[in-house]
Amino acid sequence: MPADSHRPTGAGSAISRWVTRHRVASGFVALAVAAGMTFLLLRVGPMTDHAPTERLVLEETTFNALPGWQADDHAAALASLRESCRIISRLPGERGLRGDPRLALTAGDLHPVCDLVAELGETLSSDQARNFFESGFIPFRVRNDNDDTGLVTGYYEPEIKGSRQKSDQFPAPVLARPPDLVSVELGDFRDSLRGQRIAGRVIDGQLVPFEDRAAIARGALADQDLELIWLESAIDAFFLEIQGSGRVILAADGEIDQVIRLSYAGQNGHPYTAIGGPLIEAGHIPREKMSMAAIRDWLESNPDDAQDMMNRNASYVFFTELPVEHPELGPPGAQSALLTPHRSIAVDRKHHVLGLPFWLELPEASPVDPDGPVNRLMVAQDTGGAIRGPVRADYFAGSGAAAGDMAGAMAEQGRLTVLIPAHLADRVRDIPW
C-alpha cells in the first residue's frame, strides 16, 4: 500500500459522496475479521430493506488491457503471494477454498502455483515476477451482474500504548476469547447462507445469544480472567475492535519494553451498528464533518456519554496476543497469511478465493495517490463483515497513524480483475456466467 497520503476533503466527505450514489443493505450478520469496519463506523446514509444484487460474473481479458500493468512492481505482489502460498501449501489437496461454488476451487488446485513460487526463490526482479504472472495466470474481469465497479475502502493496524497491569493510566481491558464462545459458519449447513455466521454460547443444548457490549462493559465477563492487555481508555479499545488488530506498545518505567500484536480471535455474534449515524441524528457531529477523527473527538470530549454511545454497537471483538516477528508486515488476515501493506486486500469469500491475485484499479485520485489513478496487483488475504459483493475490496494500508489517515479517508469506486491459474482457466470459461 505507495506513500501514505491525506484526502483534503476528509473521510466524511468521501463516505457521504459514496452513500448518496449507492444504496446499501441494512446491517450485516457478523464481523469476520473486522476488515471494512472503518467504513461501517462512519456509515451515515439511509439503509434499504433489501440486499443489493450480488451475481458474480467473470469475463476473460488480457494483461495488455489492464491499465498500468507494465509499470507495477510485480516483485512486491509476488512477495505477498508467497505469504499466501505458505498457508496454502500446508493444506490438504482436497480442502475446499470457499468462493463461488461454481468454481469449486481446492487447495490442490493452487498447489502447482505455490510449488512454482517456492522454486522461484525470493530474489526475482519486477520483470521476472511479471513474466511469472503473465505465463501462469489468465486475467478475468470481475463484475456484479453488469456492473464492473464497486466500493473500495481501507483498513489498517493501529499502534496503541498499553500495559500488562491495570493502573490509573491503563484502566481499560482488552479481552481474550471466552472459552464458551461458539462461532457457527451458517454456510456449512445451508448453501443459501454462504458467507453468513452467528455466535453465541450453548446452554442446555441450545445455542443462545452471547452478552452484548453493554453487558460486557458492565462486567459480565469480569470473573473469567480474560484480560490480555490494559489500554489508556475504553475508546482506544473500541477503535482497536473497529480495525480487528493492532500493535500495542508496552511501556515500563517510561521506556518501550515490548511491542506486541493483538489479533482478532472472535466476536460475540451481535450485529455491528455504526455509531456515525446516531451521532449525526443527535446533532453531535454535522454530517459534512463526519470522520473517524470527529467520532473519537466527540467520545473523548463527552466521557459521561461515551460508553452509552459505544454501546449502540452491540458487537464486541475478542483478541489473542501474537509476537511481531516481521515488523514490515501486518497482522494475519482471514487466510492466516501476514498482510502486506499496499499489497493485501480483503474480499467477499462468498464470491472469491483467498490467495488469488487481483488487479485493482482506482481510476481517480484517492488517498492512496491523490495525484492520479492507482493500478496495482494485490493478493486477496482477508475478509470482513462489511465486505459484501463481487466487486468489493478493503485495502490494507499498513500500521500506524499515517496508515490510519489513509484508511479512514478511503471510499472509492474501483475495478477488480482476478488472476486465475492458467491450468484452471477452462473451468472458468465453461461456466455459463
Q: Concatenate the DSSP letters of all residues of 136-161 into one string.
A: HEEEEEEEETTB--EEEEEEEE-EEE
Q: Does domain 171-323 have CATH number 2.40.240.50?
A: yes
Provide, rounded to the nearest whole percent, the portion of the chain with pLDDT above 70: 87
124 vs 131: CA distance, rounded Å: 10
Which is nearest to 163 in space by CA: 67, 236, 106, 80? 236
Residue 212 near residue 268 (C-beta atoms within 8 A)? yes
Q: How confident is the model at residue 273 (pLDDT cuts 50, 70, 90)?
A: confident
Whether the pTM exceeds 0.75: the reply is yes
pLDDT at 238: 96
* CA dihedral for 188, 194, 199, 201, sign (positive or negative): negative
pLDDT (mean) for 234-251: 91
pLDDT at 274: 87
Rg of the chain taking only CA atoms, in angstroms: 21
120 vs 112: CA distance, rounded Å: 13
pLDDT at 8: 27
pLDDT at 41: 52
How many CB atoms sit inside 10 A of residue 93's CB? 10
Q: How confident is the model at residue 253 (pLDDT cuts 50, 70, 90)?
A: low
Q: How confident is the model at residue 197 (pLDDT cuts 50, 70, 90)?
A: confident
Q: How confident is the model at residue 291 (pLDDT cuts 50, 70, 90)?
A: confident
Residue 9 has pLDDT above 70, yes or no: no
Q: How confident is the model at residue 254 (pLDDT cuts 50, 70, 90)?
A: low
Residue 209 has pLDDT above 50, yes or no: yes
The pLDDT tens digits for 54-74 are: 999 999 999 999 999 999 999
142 vs 418: CA distance, rounded Å: 7
The mean pLDDT value of the chain amounts to 86
The pLDDT tens digits for 176-195 are: 999 999 998 888 888 888 76
Residue 116 has pLDDT above 50, yes or no: yes
Q: How confident is the model at residue 242 (pLDDT cuts 50, 70, 90)?
A: confident
Task: Return the amino acid letter for 127.
Answer: D
Task: Return the amino acid letter for 23.
Answer: R
Q: How confident is the model at residue 35 (pLDDT cuts 50, 70, 90)?
A: very low
| Cα–Cα distances in angstroms (integers) from residue 327 to residues 306, 320, 334, 398, in the given order | 33, 18, 19, 10
pLDDT (mean) for 128-148: 97
Task: Please give the torsion angle defined by the CA atoms of residues 343, 349, 350 and 351, in that order, rounded to the nearest 10 degrees.
Answer: 30
Q: How confident is the model at residue 256 (pLDDT cuts 50, 70, 90)?
A: low
133 vs 117: CA distance, rounded Å: 10
Which is nearest to 264 in space by CA: 243, 236, 295? 243
Q: Does domain 10-21+51-156+328-429 have CATH number 2.40.40.10?
A: yes
Residue 45 has pLDDT above 90, yes or no: no
13 vs 288: CA distance, rounded Å: 6
pLDDT at 223: 94
What are the extents of the domains in the chain? 10-21+51-156+328-429, 171-323
pLDDT at 52: 64
Provide, rounded to the nearest whole percent, the portion of the chain with pLDDT above 90: 74
| Cα–Cα distances in angstroms (integers) from residue 380 to residues 25, 84, 98, 116, 187, in the given order | 23, 9, 13, 19, 20
38 vs 151: CA distance, rounded Å: 13
Number of H helices, E strands in the chain: 12, 19
pLDDT (mean) for 77-84: 98
Which of residues 121 and 194 earns the better pLDDT score? 121
Q: Among the ranges 49-53, 122-126, 152-156, 377-381, which has the highest mean pLDDT value?
A: 377-381
pLDDT (mean) for 263-273: 91
User: Which of the residue ranges 32-41, 301-310, 415-424 would you say has the lowest mean pLDDT?
Assistant: 32-41
